[in-house]
Amino acid sequence: MYIVLFYVCIAVVPNYVIQRTVVDGPSMENTLVNGENLLVEKLSFRLDALKRFDIIVFYPYGHDVEEYFVKRIIGLPGETVQIIGSEIYINGEVLEEDYGKDPITYSGIAEEPITLGNEEYFVLGDNREISFDSRYEEIGIISKDNIGGRAILRIWPFNKFGLID
């Protein structure tokens, strides 16, 4: 019985339920900063429960490559996303949000309208001037298959412990 419980705790929980991850770099400032530890839950996105402005962990080059990014969902499946100047448009309407640290100066591939397919997401880092995100062809649209989970809790540093907005 203890062996089964040990296996569940070591193999099943981190792969399918909840996992700790570390923020690497400044692309999510001021919301998240380099070195912060987060808990990422891995169930809601499988149940189509992701919402606009959720912070996700995803594998831009597929799960075979260990590199992961932490970004905020801006565009949802079926929506059309476009960036004109410093404004983000969803289905032709300006998106009201204040997560960006600085105004957008680079639209990238979102200069032209991008219509997201089923199970596709458009993500941006909160530090829009330096974030390598869906605006860049190398990253582009994020497939649900490449999402690792949704960040829900900051666990380190202790003075910032709490739910992530």
pLDDT digits (tens, 9 = 90+) for 33-89: 999 999 898 877 667 779 999 999 999 888 777 889 999 999 999 999 999 999 999
Tokens representing 78?
A: 């079926």
Beta bridge partners of residue 18, listed in sequence order: 41
Indicate if 27 belongs to the active site.
yes
Write down the domain spans for the chain. Answer: 25-163
Tokens representing 43?
A: 């169930």
Percentage of residues of the chain with pLDDT beyond 70: 88
Q: What distance in Å separates the CA atoms of residue 12 and residue 57, rounded to the nearest whole number?
A: 18
Indicate if 42 belongs to the active site.
no
Pairing of strands 37-41, 147-156: antiparallel
Residue 59 DSSP label: -
Is the pLDDT at 1 greater than 80? The verdict is no
Cβ atoms 36, 22 nearer than 8 A: yes
Helix or strand (DSSP H, E) at 82: strand 80-84
Cβ atoms 160, 135 nearer than 8 A: no
Band of the pLDDT at 9, cuts 50, 70, 90?
A: low
Residue of 27, 42, 131, 134 marked catalytic: 27
Q: What is the pLDDT of residue 55?
A: 95
Q: What is the pLDDT of residue 127?
A: 94
Residue of 42, 44, 51, 71 marked catalytic: 71
Report which listed range, 22-31, 92-101, 107-116, is most confident.
107-116
Cβ atoms 134, 110 nearer than 8 A: yes
pTM of the full structure: 0.87
| Of the options 3.60.20.10, 3.30.420.40, 3.40.50.300, 2.10.109.10, the CATH number for the domain spanning 25-163 | 2.10.109.10
Is the pLDDT at 147 greater than 90? The verdict is yes
Q: What is the pLDDT of residue 130?
A: 93
Q: What distance in Å separates the CA atoms of residue 165 and residue 162, rounded to the nearest whole number?
A: 9
